[in-house]
Structure 1
Amino acid sequence: MKLNIIATVLLAFSVSTFAVDYPVLSHTSPENVGFDIKKLGKLDTWVTNQVQAGYSGMNILIIKDNKIVLQKAWGEAKKYDGSRLMAVPIHATTSTMYDLASNTKMYATNFALQKLVYEGKIDVNDLVSKHISGFGDTPEDNIKGKSTLRISDILHHVAGFPADPQYPNKNVAGKLFSQDKSTTLEMIKHTPLQYRPGTQHIYSDVDYMILGFIIESVTGKPLDQYVENNIYKPLGLKHTVFNPLEKGFTQQQIAATELNGNTRDGVITFPNIRTETVWGQVHDEKAWYSMGGVSGHAGLFSDTSDIAVLMQVMLNGGGYGNVKLFDKKTVDEFTGSSKEDATFGLGWRVNGNASMTPTFGVLASSKTYGHTGWTGTLTAIDPINHMAIVILGNRPHSPVADPKSNPNVFVSGLLPAATYGWIVDQIYGALK
Structure 2
Amino acid sequence: MIQSCFINKFFLLFLSIVCVFPLFAQQSQHEFSLSHTIDSILQTQVQERHIPGAVVLIKKDGKILYQHAYGYARLFNNQHQLLKRPEKMELNTLFDLASLTKVVGTTTAIMYLADKHLLSVDDPVCKYVPDFNTPDKKNITIRHLLTHTSGIIEWYPLFYKAHNRQQVFSLIAKLPLRYPIGAQRKYSDLGFTILGEIIQNITGMPFEQFEEEKIFKPLNMLHTTYNPLQKKLFTHFAATSFGNPYEKRMVYDSTLGFTQKDIDPTSWNGWRNYVLSGEVNDGNAWYANGGVSGAAGLFSTAADIQQLVDMLLNNGTVNGQSFISASTLQTFFTKDAFQNGLGWMMDAHDSFMKNAPEGSFGHTGFTGTSIVVIPQYHASIILLINRQHMGLLPNGTYFDVTPIRKQIFQAVMQYCNQ
TM-score normalized by the length of structure 2: 0.85
Name the counterpart of 2:284.
Answer: 286
**2:93 maps to 1:91:** no
**2:328 maps to 1:345:** no
Name the counterpart of 2:13.
Answer: none
Pairing partner for 1:428 from 390, 410, 413 = 413
* 2:352 counterpart letter in structure 1: T
- C-alpha RMSD of the superposition: 2.1
Name the counterpart of 2:40.
Answer: 45
* C-alpha contact (below 8 Å) 1:58/1:394 kept by paired residues: yes
* 1:348 counterpart letter in structure 2: W
Cα distance change, pair 96–150 in 1 and its aligned pair in 2 (3 A): same
**2:155 maps to 1:155:** no
**2:165 maps to 1:167:** no
Matches of 1:34 and 1:215, distance apart in 2? 47
Cα distance change, pair 122–30 in 1 and its aligned pair in 2 (3 A): farther
Q: CA deviation at 1:98?
A: 0.4
**2:360 maps to 1:359:** no
Name the counterpart of 1:254.
Answer: 237
* 2:289 counterpart letter in structure 1: M
* C-alpha contact (below 8 Å) 1:361/1:420 kept by paired residues: no
**2:379 maps to 1:387:** yes
Which digits, 9 at most, give the CA deviation of each residue in 1:173-220, with x for residues without a partner? xxxx21221111110110110011011110000110011110011011
Matches of 1:30 and 1:199, distance apart in 2? 53
* 1:276 counterpart letter in structure 2: Y
Matches within 5 A, 1:48-127: 48-54=43-49, 55-82=51-78, 83-127=80-124
* C-alpha contact (below 8 Å) 1:265/1:399 kept by paired residues: no
TM-score normalized by the length of structure 1: 0.83
Name the counterpart of 1:17.
Answer: none
* 2:239 counterpart letter in structure 1: A
Identity over aligned pairs, percent: 31
Cα distance change, pair 272–341 in 1 and its aligned pair in 2 (3 A): same
Cα distance change, pair 301–30 in 1 and its aligned pair in 2 (3 A): farther
* Partner SS, residue 362 of structure 2: strand
Name the stretch that deviates more: 56-65 or 267-276: 267-276
Q: CA deviation at 1:301?
A: 0.6
5+ residue gaps, structure 2: 1-23, 253-265
State how many pairs are aligned. 376
Which digits, 9 at most, give the CA deviation of each residue in 1:230-267, with x for residues without a partner? 1111222210111111122444x111100x21135986
* C-alpha contact (below 8 Å) 1:58/1:92 kept by paired residues: yes
**2:189 maps to 1:205:** yes
* C-alpha contact (below 8 Å) 1:263/1:274 kept by paired residues: no
Matches of 1:164 and 1:239, distance apart in 2? 29
* 2:44 counterpart letter in structure 1: N
Pairing partner for 1:181 from 165, 189, 194 = 165
Matches of 1:90 and 1:419, distance apart in 2? 22
Name the counterpart of 1:23.
Answer: none
Name the counterpart of 1:245.
Answer: 229
Matches within 5 A, 1:132-147: 132-137=129-134, 144=136, 146-147=137-138
Pairing partner for 1:409 from 398, 402, 417 = 398
Which digits, 9 at most, give the CA deviation of each residue in 1:328-377, with x for residues without a partner? 11111101110x211x21111003x4x31x11033x31211011000111
Matches of 2:269 and 2:280, distance apart in 1? 17
Matches of 1:133 and 1:290, distance apart in 2? 21
Name the counterpart of 2:9.
Answer: none
Matches of 1:31 and 1:282, distance apart in 2? 44
Matches of 1:275 and 1:319, distance apart in 2? 44
Which digits, 9 at most, give the CA deviation of each residue in 1:24-60, with x for residues without a partner? xxxxx99759944124302211210100011111111
5+ residue gaps, structure 1: 1-28, 139-143, 171-176
Matches of 1:250 and 1:306, distance apart in 2? 14
Matches of 2:360 and 2:209, distance apart in 1? 30
Which digits, 9 at most, give the CA deviation of each residue in 1:401-427, with x for residues without a partner? 12xx53x324xx54xx82422221112
* 2:156 counterpart letter in structure 1: P
Name which one, 1 or 2, has greater alpha-carbon Rg: 2
**2:304 maps to 1:306:** yes
* C-alpha contact (below 8 Å) 2:38/2:408 kept by paired residues: yes
* 2:327 counterpart letter in structure 1: K
Name the counterpart of 1:263.
Answer: 245
* C-alpha contact (below 8 Å) 1:235/1:323 kept by paired residues: no
Cα distance change, pair 34–123 in 1 and its aligned pair in 2 (3 A): farther
**2:325 maps to 1:327:** yes
Which digits, 9 at most, give the CA deviation of each residue in 1:138-170, with x for residues without a partner? 5xxxxx2x11111111111110011101212x3
* 1:97 counterpart letter in structure 2: L
Cα distance change, pair 194–265 in 1 and its aligned pair in 2 (3 A): closer
* Partner SS, residue 38 of structure 1: helix
